[in-house]
Amino acid sequence: MNPVLLIAIPLLFAFLSIMNKKFARPLLLVALLLDVYLVFTISKGLYSIGGFSQYGINLLVDQYSLIGLMVVNVVFFLTVVTNCKEVKRLSTVLLVALAGVNGLLLTNDLFNLFVFLEIVGISAYLITSGNKRPLATFNYLVQGTVGSGLYLLGLILLYSMTGTLNMALILPTIVDKAIPLSNLALPFMLMFIGLGVEAKLLPFNSWVKGVLQNANALTSVLIAGVFATTIALTFGRLLSTVFVLGSISNIVLVILAVTMLAGEVAAFASKRIREVLLFSAIAQSGLIILLFANGLVIPAIMLIIANIVSKYILFTITGKMVDGTKTDEIESLQGVFSKNKLVGFAFTVASLSVIGLPLFFGFIVKLNILTSLFSQYQLFLSALILVVSLIEGTYFVKLLIKLWYSVGEVKTFKVDALVKVVTLIFALGLIVFGVYTKPLTDSLMTVPEEMMEAIAERGNF
Amino acid sequence: MFSIELVVLSTLLAGVLAYIVSIKLPKLGSYLTILASLAVFSVLAYFGFNNNLDAEVNLIPQFVLFKTSMFGLYFAIIVSFIFFMVSFFNPYFIKDYKYPAAYNLFYLMALAGTIGVFFASNFITLFIFFEIVVWTSMFLIPLGKKRKPTVTYFVFSTVGSFAMLYAVMFTFSITGSFDLAAISVLSGKSALLVYILLAVAGFAKLGAYPFYVWLPKVLGKSPDPVSAVFSGGIEKLGAFIAFMAILRISPASIYLEAVGMYLQNYVIAIFGAITIVVGTLQAIRQDDAKKLLAYSSASNGGYILVAIAMSSSISLTGAMYHILAHALASTAAFLAIAVVHYRTKTTKISELGGMIHHMPLTYMVYLMAIISMAGIPPMGGFISKWLIFQAVINKQMIIVAVATFFGSIGSFLYVFRPLAALFLGQKLPKYKGVKEAPFLMMIPLIILTLGSFYIGVIPNQVIDFSNKVIAEFGFGPLLMNEFGIQGANGTLSAPIIASVFGLGVVVIAIIFFILPKSRKVGLMDTYTSGEFIYTEELLHYSADFYAPFERLYPAKPLISKVYAMIKEKVNELGRFFKYWFFTNKPEVTVLWIVLILTLLVWGDIL
Amino acid sequence: MIQYASIILIMLGLYGLLTNRNVIKIIISLNVFEIGLNLFIISVGYVDGGLAPILTGNSTSVLSFVDPLPHALVLTSIVIGVGTTALGLAFAKKIYAKYGTYEIDEMGVE
């Protein structure tokens, strides 16, 4: 089965859905189901579109993109299913977004990546326009456009130096032509900034607050869960197989470290639940990219998976909660879980996993991260990670205690059975993987090798 | 043979079972916690004493490894015993909790976690169970009325456990092993770093200076059984870590000739001394009986640290003994207060009085417990303090010695206060119908008191055991014969002291019975300045009990201001980032992009 | 030469984004930025005196062709640019409908 179908089917359906609005939602569901089915059946390999081998666009299906596709498509599907009401107006946009997301994960071509980045970006702008905060969305649009513009500039500079856009060929060409590192600093920095805007890295992420602090369950899960995961994985592939950070690695590390710290302390200082979660999401993405920048692919993927699952739970429940209670001030939400114990359980498990406490998946991830960092003798970074996760733990515990224990009147909210079931299953998944991780670690074991093989095998074209 | 793995797992399972049961029948679930903790204690004690515990791991996957050691067994038996004793109180308190099912679950999970810590064979296992204890016990705290201490507890515990994690990972990066023995291989500066970090972990968990501020908050505000478990059980994890850090690591350091010990040990001893003094001073001025005991717990932690830091056979035996004696005594004291709280709904000393008339047994239990905590014979606390004093004097550590004696005298001041005002003192009319503790509550009270008494009279078995423990750290046994312990400058014969005491009691009893009985009058039958008193609450004499003394030092520990400041700084930093980076202004992002690019290009040209 | 011109355009665009507080002007600045970018892309493929990259029968050296790839890329990039501009204008209209002004400072939001 050709992976291009993962992109083509949603796009085709998107066109069809414009013709008849009535079928938009069924088409979206069908496309999602087809994609989920395809993801679990496609086989690994390098697929060149149109038979141009390395001159054309290639789609790469390896363990890395396969894991990404599975996670993203499943979560995308569940997000749509659990937010049926809000989806209606957005079906076409979501179809386009699905195509873009799959494209980003599959593509092996820098320019193609730019195109998908824009597709995802534009659909993200449209999705967030549902928040009725046009200024925030506009702000997002401007920053996103500048970001992808810079990415484009960077990739053109890179192209003029290496003469190829194929991601697998860039690194070998750099080595072959012996291009000096100082020349590469600018293009890589530009591309880093460009992706950094979408990946919510610190000085480039002023859009996040405006967009996410007013988002409903659908928007926030899509932006902070699905898109963030996709961008992080894309970023990860570039950082581990394309970028030569060299002289800019210090700037990059500072940006990432500051992102992490700023996200956590800003969350610590926030009084609204959505703000807390969005700042925490920023910090997490900082950490993910930091791991990729240090070449720690396996812990990074584990963190991404833990992240998308817990973000799904946290944002979905928060979205429903805010819908039901009409407030997102933590002070006025006190004790809400005492009336919604199951939902509260899922929320608690997700936050404990984010904090990284044992018996939950987040703990395994944290242990993995620290072990890998220490085996690189990164003493300062690991100390920083511990400090920020202390801050993170503090505000999450504070939040949990407030949400479980009431002072005075308790607000109530209703949650569909479906949302309950899905969040509970995810929560149980976090516990199961927290206790028994072997299947996951086994399947991740080969990822870095395969990524490097793609580069080494360029002679096969 | 019985495997540790099975103990831990079945405790966890029992927790889940108790949870399921208590969704419908919370009380039944709490009886399950009694059974489960009894099972854990008896299995550990029976198989442990017979050297029959099996450390093999078959069911838990990955890197969890156990081993048996006398050291771990000593702690495990004490702590599981405390959990067992306290569990008798669960059925009475369960109905006050907001989430009773969760209480039963977390109670047993915390027990399982502590067992795991004590039998861990590598640091990863240790850390996993340590963290399990942290978060499960954390959720026990807010079940009462107050929820703020939860966060305080989490922060301090996590500071400790992250310090430990860093130490563990650092050791791993150098030695490539997570084994507990790996820290002994370290040398030089890296050993010093690990030493400091592990000491921080121990300090944080034990509640030693400067981390002691969580103890009064948590122990003072948690549900009563939880306070007892914390003080007698979970806090001892800190002592466990401190033991390992101080005795297993030998960093390069200066040897202090004057006291015959290394600088880092001396620093620890000084911190221990500060803990003793600060804890005692704060305990003296508390009006809340639980907070008072909490500060006393902190100061007793100081004794343990001082004893470990001195690292000699006597001092280590003293530390081991003190751990046991304090666990028994403080649990008994907390439980006694819990009974008062259960019956009267308050723990404020100034609101209580004359409880001896209502609950004489509880009074006796409390009396014995504080006698032990103050180090008066014939209770367990006396022997441990005697050993520690011996060691301190022997090492000629003057500052520390002054602190330890001060703490001992000071403890008379503070333990006397609840005794005088809460149990003795005037009987207040509003507690007229208050009854003695229910039967089930009496069981642990009596057992704990007898235990405390027993180890105060016949120390031989405990010292036998602790000799085996300190032998694992490479120290020779403490000499003793049938009747006495051989100290540095004298022999202590506990049975003789006890019998002298007993004689005294007999004599007093005889005098008491021979002398004519005093006439009993009603408590309202009193007057002052020629007027009868009708509002005697106003004349309660425990208000401002030690007023002249209390004026000498501030009410709030100074260090808590520092913590408040740190919190405020983090908040400020957060607001700073929010203000400067997260605005609805696209130009902010563009500005940063331009700045970074300029920096880059400029830097390249230069 | 054309590269300097395009870089100046990019910088102008960024300067416009930095200094303007008007929604429409911001969109125009974005456009200037994108035009600079597109020009830059084309300039990368430029070969002095090069031929159009069309395979005729004549034996011309491959090196004398102009690089065709940037031209292909720039087409896509222009299309995307148009799309974003249109979307931006649509949002501008929404902003105007909500606040009655294009000046961000006058909207009175945080």
pLDDT in tens, B362-393: 888 888 888 888 888 778 888 888 888 888 88
Distance, CA of B179 to CA of B464 (rounded, Å): 28
Residue B229 lies in a domain: no
- Return the residue of B nearest to C20 by Cα: B587
Considering the domain architecture, whether residues B544 and B593 belong to the same structural domain is answered as no
Give the CA angle between residues C19, C22, C25 to the nearest 5°: 80
**pLDDT, position B541:** 57
Contact C17 A156 (CB under 8 A): no
How many CB atoms are closer than 10 A to CB A62? 19
* pLDDT band (50, 70, 90) for residue B325: very high
Q: What is the pLDDT of residues B7-22, one digit of tens each?
A: 888 888 998 998 888 8
Contacts of B585 in chain C (CB under 8 A): 104
B256: pLDDT strictly greater than 50: yes
Contacts of A134 in chain C (CB under 8 A): 91, 94-95, 98
Average pLDDT on B175-184 reads 82
Considering the domain architecture, whether residues B541 and B566 belong to the same structural domain is answered as no
Return the structure tokens found at A73. Answer: 């498509």
Domain hosting B328: range is 261-555
Residue that wins the pLDDT comparison between A52 and B332: B332
Q: What is the pLDDT of residues A303-314, one digit of tens each?
A: 999 999 999 999
Q: What is the pLDDT of residues B333-360, one digit of tens each?
A: 899 888 888 888 877 777 777 777 788 8
Considering the domain architecture, whether residues B285 and B424 belong to the same structural domain is answered as yes
Residue B221 lies in a domain: no
Considering the domain architecture, whether residues B360 and B415 belong to the same structural domain is answered as yes
B474: pLDDT strictly greater than 60: yes
Q: What is the pLDDT of residues A133-152, one digit of tens each?
A: 888 888 889 888 988 999 99
Considering the domain architecture, whether residues B502 and B601 belong to the same structural domain is answered as no
Domain hosting A271: range is 4-460
- Give the mutation candidate from A248, A397, A435 for the B interface (greatest B CB count, under 10 A): A397
- ipTM greater than 0.90: yes
Average pLDDT on A5-12 reads 88
C30, C70, C76 ranked by CB distance to A142: nearest: C30
Considering the domain architecture, whether residues B407 and B285 belong to the same structural domain is answered as yes
Q: How far away is chain B from the Cα of C106, in angstroms, using its nearest Cα? A: 13
Which residues of C lie closer than 8 Å to A, measured between beta carbons? 10, 14, 17, 23, 26, 30, 33-34, 37, 40-41, 44, 69-70, 73, 76-77, 80, 83-84, 87-88, 91-92, 94-95, 98-99, 104, 107, 109
Considering the domain architecture, whether residues B438 and B567 belong to the same structural domain is answered as no
Domains and CATH numbers, chain C: 2-46+66-103 (1.10.287.3510)
Residue B453 lies in a domain: yes
% of chain B at pLDDT higher than 90: 10
Q: How far away is chain B from the Cα of C104, in angstroms, using its nearest Cα? A: 9
**Domain count of the fold of chain A:** 1
A460: pLDDT strictly greater than 50: no
B308: pLDDT strictly greater than 80: yes
The answer to whether B586 contacts chain A (CB < 8 Å) is yes
A459: pLDDT strictly greater than 50: no
Q: What is the pLDDT of residues B142-155, one digit of tens each?
A: 887 778 888 889 99
Considering the domain architecture, whether residues B549 and B585 belong to the same structural domain is answered as no
B199: pLDDT strictly greater than 80: yes
Q: Which helix (H) or strand (E) holds B155?
A: helix B148-175
- Return the residue of B nearest to A386 by Cα: B162
Q: What is the pLDDT of residues C64-101, one digit of tens each?
A: 777 788 888 889 899 999 999 999 999 999 888 888 88
Considering the domain architecture, whether residues B388 and B467 belong to the same structural domain is answered as yes
Contacts of C92 in chain A (CB under 8 A): 138
Round the CA-based radius of gyration of chain B to a whole number and report it: 26
Backbone angles phi, psi at B2, to 5 degrees: -145, 135
**pLDDT, position A128:** 87
B239 three-state secondary structure:
helix
**pLDDT, position A100:** 92
**pLDDT, position A216:** 83
**pLDDT, position B606:** 42
Note which residues in 92-111 of chain B have CB less than 8 A from chain A: 98-99
Q: In a 10 Å sphere around its CB, with 0-12 CB exposed, 13-18 middle and 19+ buried, how is residue A441 labelled?
A: middle
What mean pLDDT value characterizes chain B? 84
Considering the domain architecture, whether residues B335 and B437 belong to the same structural domain is answered as yes
Considering the domain architecture, whether residues B529 and B600 belong to the same structural domain is answered as no
Return the structure tokens found at A70. Answer: 């599975």
Q: What is the pLDDT of residues B521-579, one digit of tens each?
A: 665 566 666 766 666 555 555 556 677 777 777 777 778 888 889 889 988 988 888 88
Q: How far away is chain B from the Cα of A134, in angstroms, using its nearest Cα? A: 11
B307: pLDDT strictly greater than 70: yes
**pLDDT, position A50:** 76
**Domain count of the fold of chain B:** 2
- Give the residue from B536, B555, B574 where a domain finishes: B555
Q: How far away is chain B from the Cα of A362, in angstroms, using its nearest Cα? A: 12
Return the structure tokens found at B450. Answer: 């007898």
Pairing verdict, β B491-492 and B485-486: antiparallel
Query: Which DSSP string do the residues of A368-401 spell out, in sequence order?
Result: HHHHHHHHTT-HHHHHHHHHHHHHHHHHHHHHHH
% of chain B at pLDDT higher than 70: 93
* pLDDT band (50, 70, 90) for residue A461: very low
All partners of chain B with 3 or more CB pairs under 8 angstroms: A, C
B273: pLDDT strictly greater than 80: yes
- Amino acid making up residue C11: M
Among candidate residues B89, B90, B83, the one with its CA nearest the CA of residue B104: B90
With beta carbons less than 8 A apart as the criterion, state whether B279 and B404 touch: no
Considering the domain architecture, whether residues B580 and B547 belong to the same structural domain is answered as no
What pTM did the predictor assign?
0.90
